[in-house]
Chains A and B, each alone.
Chain A
Amino acid sequence: MGADLGLQHRIEQLLFREADCLDRRDWDGWEALFAPDGMYWVPLGHDQADPLNHASLFFEDSIMRDVRRRRLDQVHAWSQHPVTYAARIVGNVRIVAGTDDAPTLRVRSTFQMTEWRRGSDLRQLAGHYTHDLVAIDEAWRIALKRVDLINCDGAHECFEIFI
């Protein structure tokens, strides 16, 4: 039980650290949390099973994330004049598969995210994160971050930053 609590604590700290990187627009710090072949996926449909044969709001490997990260920091990224600020709260963190000495873990959580750009309305996003984590060099790294927005199939204004 003590080991489980320790794992739970370490995993929560990892998710909080990830949210903090994104809130601070520390895209490089965020990327470093991923395994080299890690994927970032925001499905378009509820319970979407397949990212390859169905469109997604985001489905990005490290190459596509690299383009997005670099774009956000371009001088002439017009849609970031002014920039998007965001604050995320992550809770209800549950380890749903795997243990401390397993090679992989699956973690589910719930998030609230508030975004703001000067001149625009606040936008509230909410949904569920699923993190598939893999142990690399004694650290948990993200093999897949899945973001299921509660309004995934709604009509969206543009998503400027990673969710």
Chain B
Amino acid sequence: MSPPGDYARLVEPARVHKSVYADPAVFDAEMERIFGRAWIYVGHESQTPSPGNYWTTLIGREPVIMVRGQDGAVRVLHNRCPHKGARIISEACGTLGSVIRCPYHGWMFGLDGKVRNVPFRAGYEGTGFNPDDPEFSLRPVARAGAYRGFVFCSLAADGPDLAAYLGGVASSLDNFVDRAPDGEVEVAGGVMRVMQRSNWKIFLENLMDTGHPQATHESSFVAARQTVKSRLGGATPFRLHIIEGNGEPASFWESLELHCFEHGHSFMGAIFNAPKDELSLDYLATLARQVGSERAQAIISVNRHNTVIYPSCSPHTGFQQLRVIRPIAVDRTMVEIFTFRLKGTSEAFFQRTINYTNIVNSPSSTVMVDDVEVYRRCQEGVDRQGGDWVSQHRQAGRESATGDEILAIGTSEAPIRNQYRAWASYMKDAH
């Protein structure tokens, strides 16, 4: 295998060495060089609407707290007491008073992370303990920022700012929010968490892989077709359309457009047409009342299926879903799935969003089960001797570049190759 520091050699223009998925040393390096540097999704501002509200998650291996301070600012702090190192907050989300208190010795910190008080204060006098030294406060992450309410952080002090990092893929977050008649979105309806026995990159690649649905998802789209025929007289309701859609022919997938950007980002054109049912038309009318007909048409005509904001999240603008990748180990990945309410829409509209979440993003999804199964089979194969390289040759060399964007036809593996260009750039040196 490659010597440490030379991981970029594992990536060739249309193939990658299997060790990128299987070698624990590569995973360790990724946590430092990718998840320790890139802008990683933390959470949405609506999860902490008031001072003291918090949300906890993982940035690479680092447990963090996203908390709203008394001053209204949202901060991202390491979830680690500076005293003995104890994790301070164990719940996924909740509300604090005006202080954060460590359960071990009762050190108290403001919601901004600064140490406020420590018990036995007299015992610290003249010992080198200094409340003004950041060493004794909860450490903020190196950089935190929000793009239209979506909070990201970087564990590195240097690098592009968030807007520059997102570049052309920011348009998916714009469209996500622009679809709200009142101009804002909020997390609602609970958080799904799915555990995959496979490397995090396998999931990110699959989100942009239109070559798999016909083979992988045969069981669910055939079953849905049978149900439509035998129980519904051939009329496909929306909730079955989203399962059946995976059975579209090759020409359908080829007709999509794939758009790739710097830093590994990409999005694909829509695979589901904007629904024309009463609920959708009612929503469009509401949007038009708020922003004008022309603007409303422009907003909903930005019709995309998956977007990947490399390496941490995937918004789905049309169905108000955000999938967040939390790598746990070289062969284990947790995906956090958030559902959003578009402010200014009807209860029925949100209920359809929830319906989509249940069908597509629940760990019980009849679609997802076969994805997760093939991910696991790939993970087994990359740790075996039957071959050394993983192919990404589909439509290789046939992409076209326009400005800062790379365009490819729907069945190209261009977005996957684009992810590995970013991967190699992060991984090429110890920085």
- Chain A positions within 8 Å of B, measured between CB atoms, are 42, 44-45, 48, 52-59, 62-64, 66-68, 70-71, 74, 76-80, 153-160
CB within 8 Å for A78 and B363 given contacts A156-B194, A157-B195: no
| CB atoms of B354 and A71 under 8 A apart | no
Count of chain B residues with Cβ under 8 Å from any Cβ of A?
Answer: 47
Q: How far is the CA of A149 from the CA of B223 in the complex (A)?
A: 27
User: Which B residues are in CB contact (< 8 Å) with A57?
Assistant: 362-364
Scoring B residues 370 to 396 as 1 if CB is less than 8 Å from chain A, else 0, what string do you get?
Answer: 101110000000000000000000000
Contact A52 B354 (CB under 8 A): yes
- A160 vs B370: C-alpha distance in the bound complex, in angstroms? 10
B363 near A71 (CB under 8 angstroms)?
A: no
State how many angstroms separate the Cβ of A135 from the closest Cβ of chain B. Answer: 25
Chain B residue with minimal CB distance to A60?
A: B358
Stretch at the interface among B101-109, B150-158, B226-234, B397-405: B226-234
Given A58-B358, A71-B366, A156-B195, the answer on whether A52 and B351 have CB atoms closer than 8 Å is yes
Main secondary structure of the interface of B (DSSP, over half): helix
User: In the complex, A71 Cα to B246 Cα: how many Å?
Assistant: 14
B358 touches A59 (CB 8 A): yes
CB 8 Å contact bits of B220-264 with A (1 = contact, 0 = none): 101110110011100001011001000000000000000000000
Interface segment out of the listed B26-34, B137-145, B162-170, B185-193? B185-193
Taking the closest CB of chain B, its distance from the CB of A74, in whole angstroms, is 4
Complexed CA–CA distance, A159 and B361 (Å): 12
The reply to whether B373 and A71 form a contact with Cβ atoms under 8 Å apart is no
Contact of B363 (CB < 8 Å), options: A53, A54, A74, A156: A156
Which listed residue (B232, B359, B370) contacts A78, Cβ 8 A? B370
Which A-B residue pairs are the 8 nearest by beta carbons? A79-B373, A155-B193, A77-B219, A70-B223, A71-B223, A74-B219, A159-B364, A156-B363
A160's closest neighbor in chain B, by CB? B369
In chain A, what residue has the closest Cβ to B336? A155
State whether A71 touches B219 (Cβ < 8 A). yes
Residue of B nearest to A81 (CB): B373
Structural contact, B197 and A157, CB atoms closer than 8 A: yes
A45-B190 in contact (CB<8A): yes
Starting from the known contacts A55-B357, A64-B239, A71-B366, 14 additional A-B residue pairs (CB-CB under 8 Å) come to: A44-B192, A57-B362, A64-B359, A67-B223, A68-B366, A70-B223, A70-B226, A74-B222, A78-B216, A79-B372, A153-B190, A156-B193, A156-B363, A158-B369
- Chain A: minimal CB distance from B46 (Å): 16
Report the bound CA distance from A64 to B362 in whole Å.
14
Q: How far is the CA of A42 from the CA of B364 in the complex (A)?
A: 10
Q: Find out whether the CB atom of A155 lies under 8 angstroms from the CB atom of B218.
A: no
A115 to B27, CA, bound (A): 31
Q: B194 contacts which chain A residues (CB < 8 A)?
A: 155-158
**Cα separation A59 to B365 with both chains bound (whole Å):** 11
Are B364 and A58 in contact, CB atoms less than 8 angstroms apart?
A: yes
9 A-B Cβ contacts within 8 A?
A: A55-B189, A56-B362, A67-B366, A70-B222, A74-B223, A76-B222, A77-B219, A79-B370, A157-B195
Is B406 an interface residue when CB atoms closer than 8 A count as contact? no
- Which chain A positions have C-beta within 8 A of B361? 55
Tell me whether B278 is interfacial, beta carbon within 8 Å. no
